[in-house]
């Protein structure tokens, strides 16, 4: 056990391999820069997409 190590264990990585992230996130909504609701699934309907999450402190 690695209580202070944030890296996933090998077992956790194996579990992630079986999760379909695109399918799981497809129905989730977020706001774009203009405040419009956007369903994540629409971002990769026609082509691959990269999602980047930034957290603002302050």
pTM for the model stands at: 0.54
d(CA 22, CA 47): 12
- Note whether residue 23 is domain-resident: yes
- Note whether residue 51 is domain-resident: no
Structural domain including 23 reads 10-44
- Note whether residue 55 is domain-resident: no
- Note whether residue 34 is domain-resident: yes
d(CA 55, CA 28): 18
- Note whether residue 32 is domain-resident: yes
Q: Using an 8 Å Cβ cutoff, are 22 and 11 in contact? A: no
Token representation of residue 38: 């956007």
- Note whether residue 4 is domain-resident: no
- Note whether residue 56 is domain-resident: no
Helix (H) or strand (E) holding 41: none
Specify the pLDDT at position 55: 83
Specify the pLDDT at position 53: 81
Specify the pLDDT at position 18: 67
**Per-residue pLDDT tens for 1-58?**
567 878 878 887 777 766 788 888 899 998 988 999 999 999 889 998 888 888 888 7
Q: Give the number of domains in the chain.
A: 1
Specify the pLDDT at position 27: 93
């Amino acid at each position: 056990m690695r209580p202070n190590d944030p890296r996933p264990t090998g077992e956790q990585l194996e579990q992630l391999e079986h999760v379909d992230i695109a399918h799981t996130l497809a129905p989730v909504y977020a706001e774009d820069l203009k405040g419009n609701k956007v369903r994540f699934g629409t971002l990769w309907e026609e082509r691959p997409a990269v999602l980047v999450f930034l957290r603002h402190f302050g």
